[in-house]
Amino acid sequence: MASNKKPAAKKGIGAAALLAVGAICLVAGLLVGKFVIGAPTAHNPLNKVTLTAGELDTVVGTYTYAGETHEITARAVIEDSSSLATAAKEDGTYDVPTADAILGFARNSIIMREAESRGITVTDEDVAAYAREVLGTDDYATIAATYGLTEEVAKRMLSESAVMKKLRDQVISDSGVGEAPVPPTQPEDGNHDATSKEWADYVIALLGDEWDAANNTWARTDGTYYATLQTYPISNESASYEAAEQAYYIAYTAYTAESNNAAQEWTNFVNGLLGSASIEIATLYA
């Protein structure tokens, strides 16, 4: 019998979790250049672990980037990954944001400022498409209910994530990473030696300039595929599933290497941004 019980809302997710994907789970583990925890300030809330609603604008940290210093309030950190209603305790107070949450807020803010400086923006259509890509839906009410957010917060988080994705795509645009190759269709009868034009077309599409279609043969023998596929009968009209499978493995290995290089390029870029920044966090609360 099917249950009508609704899934419990997921509280306290961060932008990276909503984003869900290694695509941009980008800033985790990266450091900010100059880092001071528990720096004494006029607004230092080290003597408390909770805040009342009237204290949500307490400054819990600052970050300096591109010559400008920005204050970080408890309200801003809480609303970066939740809603005030969700974060409120039973007695109406709020936990002081943790040092990790404040650091994460500063990291995201710096990256968003870099995107803004490059003129990167997203439309409502961009955000909806991004939501469908990573969460399978652009129904913000459903997303908000699932993650214990308001619709406004859910949409803002997705919007920021979509901007970060555009920035990442821009940074790695010259890395040569394309779409991941799709595996060839397997033979229905399980005979991997079977041949077909479908598999020939599949293989030749992967071979690219390594294949001479006009002369129905290899264009060169010094390419990525030749060493492995030279022993398989391949023509414009026929190739085996096994040949297609081998071609897929070669293509996927190359794609993985390119993806890893692109990921490192993005990491280096973000570390370069954060390495020029400094942050003071006025709490040790964890």
Tokens 């970050």 belong to: 63
Q: Do the domain assignments include residue 190?
A: no
Whole-prediction pTM value? Answer: 0.65
Q: Are strands 278-281 and 59-65 parallel, antiparallel or unpaired?
A: antiparallel
Domain identity same for 157 and 35: yes
The pLDDT of residue 180 is above 70: yes
Q: How confident is the model at residue 178 (pLDDT cuts 50, 70, 90)?
A: low
Q: For residue range 205-255, what is the model confidence (pLDDT) as tens digits?
A: 999 999 999 999 999 999 999 999 999 999 999 999 999 999 999 999 988
Residue 95 domain-assigned (yes or no): yes
| Residues 101, 55 share a domain | yes
**Residue 182 falls inside a structural domain:** no
Identify the pLDDT of residue 179: 72
Cα–Cα distance, 124 to 258 (Å, whole number): 31
* 207 and 161 within one domain: no
- In the block, residue with structure tokens 């672990």: 49
Confidence (pLDDT) at 280 = 87
Over residues 131-157, the pLDDT tens digits come to 998 888 999 999 888 887 788 888 988
Burial of 160 (0-12, 13-18, 19+ CB in 10 A): buried
pLDDT tens per residue across span 28-78: 334 444 444 444 444 454 577 899 999 999 999 999 998 899 999 999 999
Quick one: 107 and 208 in the same domain? no
Q: What is the tally of structural domains in the chain? A: 2
In a domain? residue 5: no
Which two three-digit tokens encode residue 143? Answer: 């997303």
- Residue 211 counted as domain residue: yes
Q: Find the CATH number of the domain harbouring 160.
A: 1.10.4030
C-alpha span between 88 and 72 (Å, rounded) = 19
Euclidean distance between CA atoms 80 and 15, whole angstroms: 7
Model pLDDT for residues 189-204, shown as the tens digit of each residue: 878 778 999 999 999 9
Q: Is the pLDDT of residue 127 over 50?
A: yes
Q: Residue length, the chain?
A: 286
Task: Name the residue among 180, 172, 174 with its Cα closest to residue 268.
Answer: 172
List the one residue out of 188, 208, 198 whose CA is nearest residue 237: 198
**Full domain range(s) for residue 51:** 27-175+264-281
Residues 141 and 231 grouped into a single domain = no
Instruction: Assess whether pLDDT exceeds 90 at residue 176.
Output: no
Taking residues 254-276, report their average pLDDT. 85
